[in-house]
Structures are given as structure tokens and as C-alpha cells.
């Protein structure tokens, strides 16, 4: 019997979501028949000490210390089998500027953008137009400002954002249909179209308060557009050397072209999260999804 160690929590601003994700994954893993341990690596890597050789680790951690490659590097050093992207891929995906550079080099469209600091932000030409400001390293919509009217922007919000990271990426605000494409192994799962509450954004609050509409199949996309979005998302996953799973966020512009916003190497796995919803629609309720993850890990580690 394979043992699973589910890691949740950590020290990032996304600790609360991570704990919820890890709890949901652990419950499903037990339903799937696995021996499950749970631990919070907030105090360090000692939670990895003394693991049985057959143990597989599920890092269900979001943000710094979970998705940035540091935990993955420790798992690799200890020769422990684990779910998700390796240390190098995790670090590159966590760095939004590095992700942009790699996607652009592969011919994948991203919004026009630049790397800024708190002092250079207000003087950058993009800051005078509708734009998005995202901390260089972060996720789950924490550290993201969607600025539709720059002239009314509260500079205290900008200051708070730069307290999370010294650098941020400023990008054109791309208007269109927002979608997310979960990837399992190397293939796209059903696309979800995201519609935030009227007059609001799909920010941290509206991601988890149940007020956004998450539509699958996506009513705004036809079959040809769905196929194109899947192709692009699978290319993003491959370009960034991800494995097992990821989730790619995109915008479809009015001319039906797509722009990639970012890739998540450890997408949210709560009972409200987009990845489990898509998997369930594809015929993989959470316990079956856990079994599929284990199959992929056993394949890659020859367990």
C-alpha cells in the first residue's frame, strides 16, 4: 500500500487556501483507499524526515515556499517521489517575468508588459492606461491590482502590493472572455469560463466567495476556439516543463485570439476550486483524480 503525505499550509500569504486545498485532497485520498498523513511544513523540512521509501508527497502549497521550487529541490535532494513540477520548472513558473520570456520565445502570446519597482511604476507609460499590476512572485490573486481607471488609483494599494515583493509586472489590461484550462498529464481538461459578479473583478475575494460564475462548457467559445485554447494551454504546460498537472489562465479577445495570463503549477484544490470542478466534469471526481495523480507519479518514478 502506497502512503501519501499531504503537505498544506506553509508561510505564504496563501496559507489559508493551501490548508483548505490540502484538507480536501487528504479527504479524497482516504476515500480512494490510500494511507494518508498530513503535515504543515511551516516550521521547515523536518516533516520529511523518516518517510518510508514507498511514500509519495503531494505538495498542496501555494505561494512562496510551496510553488517557488524550494520545497521541490529538497524533495529531489532526498530522492522522494512527489506530485507536480520539478524544482527548476516551479521556480521559472513562479517568476512571472521569467514565464513571460519563455512563452514569448516559444511564440506564445502574452500581454504587453514590463518589470517595475515601486519607484519606477508610476512613471512607466503603461501605468497611465488600464493595466494589471502583479507581484513578480505570488499567486491566488494575492498581490494583483486590476486598474481600469488609473487616475482614481489609491496609491496605498500600490504600496501594499510592493510590500509583498520588491518587483512587479505591469501589463496591458486585456479585455475579453476569461477562461482557465486545467492540464492533466499533458492534455487539457474541460475549459471553464469565468464571469465575476457584475461590475467586479475575479480577485481573491470573488474567487472564493462563490459569487463568480464558472461555466463549463464555456458558452462564449465555439468548438474551433475551444480547440485553439486547448492547443495553446498544452503548449504552455510543455514549454514550461511542467508535469502531472497545471492550470493555464487565458483571455480570448474579441477577434478570437488568445493571450496567456499565467500558469499555475499547484492550482487551488479546494471544493470550490476550478481544477477539481473541471476534472469532475471530465469524469474524474476527486478520489479518482487522486488515483490518476498517483499513477502518473508511479510512472515517472518507476515505483
pLDDT at 202: 47
pLDDT at 210: 58
Per-residue pLDDT, averaged over 52-68, amounts to 92
Question: What is the DSSP-derived secondary structure letter of residue 90?
Answer: H
141: pLDDT strictly greater than 80: no
Using alpha carbons only, what angle is made at residue 80 by residues 79 and 83, rounded to the nearest 5 degrees? 130
Q: Which CATH architecture describes the domain 113-172?
A: 2-Layer Sandwich (3.30)
Identify the CA nearest to 145 among candidates 125, 179, 171. 171
What confidence tens digit (pLDDT) does each residue in 260-275 have?
Answer: 999 999 999 999 999 9
pLDDT at 206: 43
Domain boundaries, the chain: 3-84+287-293, 93-109+175-283, 113-172
Whether the predicted model's global pTM rises above the 0.75 cut: yes
What confidence tens digit (pLDDT) does each residue in 4-14 have?
Answer: 999 999 998 88
Per-residue pLDDT, averaged over 148-158, amounts to 93
Q: How sure is the predictor about 212, in pLDDT bands with cuts at 50, 70 and 90?
A: confident
Q: How sure is the predictor about 53, in pLDDT bands with cuts at 50, 70 and 90?
A: confident
Q: What percent of the chain has pLDDT over 70?
A: 94
pLDDT at 198: 66
pLDDT at 139: 63
Q: Do 3-84+287-293 and 113-172 show the same overall fold? A: no
pLDDT at 303: 84
Per-residue pLDDT, averaged over 8-22, amounts to 92
Task: Look at the domain 93-109+175-283 and name its fold.
Answer: D-amino Acid Aminotransferase; Chain A, domain 1 (3.30.470)
292: pLDDT strictly greater than 50: yes
Question: How distant is the alpha carbon of residue 119 from its chain centre?
Answer: 28
Task: Look at the domain 3-84+287-293 and name its fold.
Answer: Rossmann fold (3.40.50)
Grid coordinates representing 206 are 470573488
Spatial distance between the Cα atoms of 228 and 226, rounded to a whole number of angstroms: 5
Query: Are 48 and 292 a contacting pair, CB within 8 Å?
Result: no
Spatial distance between the Cα atoms of 117 and 177, rounded to a whole number of angstroms: 29
Amino acid at each position: 500500500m502506497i502512503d501519501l503525505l499531504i503537505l498544506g499550509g506553509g508561510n505564504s500569504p496563501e496559507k489559508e487556501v493551501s490548508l483548505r486545498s490540502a484538507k480536501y485532497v487528504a479527504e479524497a485520498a482516504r476515500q480512494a483507499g490510500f494511507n494518508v498523513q498530513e503535515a504543515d511544513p511551516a516550521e521547515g523540512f523536518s516533516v520529511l524526515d523518516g518517510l518510508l521509501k514507498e511514500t509519495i508527497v503531494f505538495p498542496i502549497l501555494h505561494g512562496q515556499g510551496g510553488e517557488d521550487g524550494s520545497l521541490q529541490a529538497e524533495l529531489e535532494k532526498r530522492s522522494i517521489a512527489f506530485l507536480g513540477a520539478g524544482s527548476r520548472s516551479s521556480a521559472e513558473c513562479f517568476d512571472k517575468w521569467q514565464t513571460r520570456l519563455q512563452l514569448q520565445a516559444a511564440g506564445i502570446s502574452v500581454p504587453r508588459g514590463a518589470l517595475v519597482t515601486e519607484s519606477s511604476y508610476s512613471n512607466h507609460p503603461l501605468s497611465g492606461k488600464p493595466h494589471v499590476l502583479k507581484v513578480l512572485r505570488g499567486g491566488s490573486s494575492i498581490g494583483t491590482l486590476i486598474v481600469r481607471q488609473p487616475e482614481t488609483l489609491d496609491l496605498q494599494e500600490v504600496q501594499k502590493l510592493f510590500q509583498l515583493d520588491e518587483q512587479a509586472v505591469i501589463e496591458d489590461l486585456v479585455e475579453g472572455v476569461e477562461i482557465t484550462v486545467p492540464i492533466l498529464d499533458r492534455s487539457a481538461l474541460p475549459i471553464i469560463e469565468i464571469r465575476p459578479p457584475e461590475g467586479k473583478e475575479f480577485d481573491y475575494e470573488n474567487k472564493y466567495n462563490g459569487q463568480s460564475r464558472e461555466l463549463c462548457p464555456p458558452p462564449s467559445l465555439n468548438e474551433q476556439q475551444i480547440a485553439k485554447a486547448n492547443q495553446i494551454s498544452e503548449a504552455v504546460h510543455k514549454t514550461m516543463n511542467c508535469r502531472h498537472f497545471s492550470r493555464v489562465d487565458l483571455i480570448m479577445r474579441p477577434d478570437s485570439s488568445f493571450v496567456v495570463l499565467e500558469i499555475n503549477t499547484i492550482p487551488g484544490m479546494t471544493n470550490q476550486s476550478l481544477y477539481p470542478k473541471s476534472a469532475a466534469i471530465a469524469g474524474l471526481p476527486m478520489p479518482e483524480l487522486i488515483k490518476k495523480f498517483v499513477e502518473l507519479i508511479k510512472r515517472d518514478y518507476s515505483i
